Amino acid sequence: MATKLKFNSYPRVVQSLIDSAVMIKRSSTHIIRNTDQLLGTFFQPIMFLVLFAAVFGGAIEASLPAGVSYLNFLMAGIIVQTVAFGSTTTAIAVCNDLQKGIIDRFRSLPMSNIAVLNGHVISDLFRNSISTVVMILAGLVIGFRSSANVVDWLMIAGILLLFTFAISWLAAVVGVVAKSVESVQWLTFIIIFPLTFASSAFVPTEGMTPVLKAFAENQPITHVVEAVRALILGTPIENYGWLAVAWSLGILAVAIPLATYLYSRKSA
């Protein structure tokens, strides 16, 4: 009690930004200190990339447009798949917080409600960005080549960041709703797995049955994959760029208020 304490007296908005910054720092520290998960972040995408390229490459290359290697085709798909599966981490982190006493602590503080979720979602954006870069570098090592210029890469980064942000908020909803970390795992799995595999992430949609094809061609993962792929391969992007952005914004418009609402109601 010796020293005189100094309090900030910023406007509410500024203060809630500080709250979010504090929570982002917290969640990022979690990511760095959770060594097992961090290793998974790096090695799982590389493993997927190498395995898919090696196992499916030969069989699928025949059905690709002439001159397109499967590795170059796969890159967009594997990046989006990694980001989508990576959102599980957000859901687990949110769920973990809610299971522990620390959430009562946060709730009893004069802090902004959304900051806890913001912390997890935004720190996951960093983590996903790092693993995406690692994957692209690994791809370059095993023969991935792209004709994309700097502007194309910036567009790719923009589309992916927005999509990652959206799907992490969706995962935050799952994290708030789920009753345990185990149920987070299967909940995200049954949402993400069909969406990524029934898409153009790994194979062209042409060979799919009509029903599956109709689904695959009209869902967010395919649209994001197609946009990124067009930019990587230098083919026409058609409407996929706008569709990818629209899906992400649409998901955000639902997921942010829903997650925040459910979070503030939980345990009350």
Partner 1 sequence: MGAGKLAIEVENLTKSYGKTEVLKGVSFKVERGTMLALLGPNGAGKTTTVRILSTLLSRDGGKVTVEGFDTAKDADKVRSVIGLTGQSAAVDELLTGRENLVMMGRLYRLTRQSAKKRANELLADFDLLTSADRPAKTYSGGMRRRLDLAVSLIAAPPIIFLDEPTTGLDPRSRIAMWEIIRKLMKGGTTILLTTQYLEEADQLADNIVLIDGGKVAAEGTAKQLKNQMGSDRLELVFSNKKPYRAAKNALTGMQLNENEAQLTLVVPVDNPNDDVRAVLEKLNAAKASVDSLALHKPTLDDVFLSITSKQGKGVE
Listed in sequence order, the residues at least 6 apart from 145 whose beta carbon sits closer than 8 Å to its beta carbon are 72
Site size for partner 1 (CB under 8 A) = 33
Min CB(3)–partner 1 separation in Å: 6
Backbone Cα Rg of the chain: 20
| 34 sits near partner 1 (criterion: CB under 8 A) | yes
**Cβ closer to partner 1: 145 or 266?**
266
Query: CA–CA separation, 74 vs 76, rounded Å?
Result: 6
Min CB(139)–partner 1 separation in Å: 32
Q: Select from 39, 51, 58, 104 the one that contacts partner 1 (CB under 8 A).
A: 104
| 6 sits near partner 1 (criterion: CB under 8 A) | yes
**Cβ closer to partner 1: 66 or 105?**
105
Query: CA–CA separation, 227 vs 53, rounded Å?
Result: 20
By CB under 8 A, which span of 76-84, 105-113, 170-178, 229-237 interacts with partner 1? Answer: 105-113
Q: Which helix (H) or strand (E) holds 253?
A: helix 240-265
The dihedral sign for the CA sequence 84, 185, 88, 113: positive
Burial category of 6 from C-beta neighbours within 10 Å (exposed 0-12, middle 13-18, buried 19 and up): exposed
**Cβ closer to partner 1: 101 or 236?**
101
Listed in sequence order, the residues at least 6 apart from 151 whose beta carbon sits closer than 8 Å to its beta carbon are none
| 266 sits near partner 1 (criterion: CB under 8 A) | no
Q: Select from 11, 13, 33, 65 the one that contacts partner 1 (CB under 8 A).
A: 33
| 138 sits near partner 1 (criterion: CB under 8 A) | no
Question: What is the number of other CB atoms lying within 10 angstroms of the CB of residue 64?
Answer: 16
- Note whether 170 and 221 are within 8 A (CB): no
Question: What is the number of other CB atoms lying within 10 angstroms of the CB of residue 135?
Answer: 21
| 246 sits near partner 1 (criterion: CB under 8 A) | no
Listed in sequence order, the residues at least 6 apart from 126 whose beta carbon sits closer than 8 Å to its beta carbon are 28, 31
| 28 sits near partner 1 (criterion: CB under 8 A) | no
**Cβ closer to partner 1: 119 or 241?**
119
| 29 sits near partner 1 (criterion: CB under 8 A) | yes
| 111 sits near partner 1 (criterion: CB under 8 A) | yes
| 35 sits near partner 1 (criterion: CB under 8 A) | no
Q: Select from 59, 68, 102, 133 the one that contacts partner 1 (CB under 8 A).
A: 102
Residues engaged in binding partner 1 (CB under 8 A): 1-3, 5-9, 15, 18-19, 22, 25-26, 29-30, 33-34, 100-111, 115, 267-268
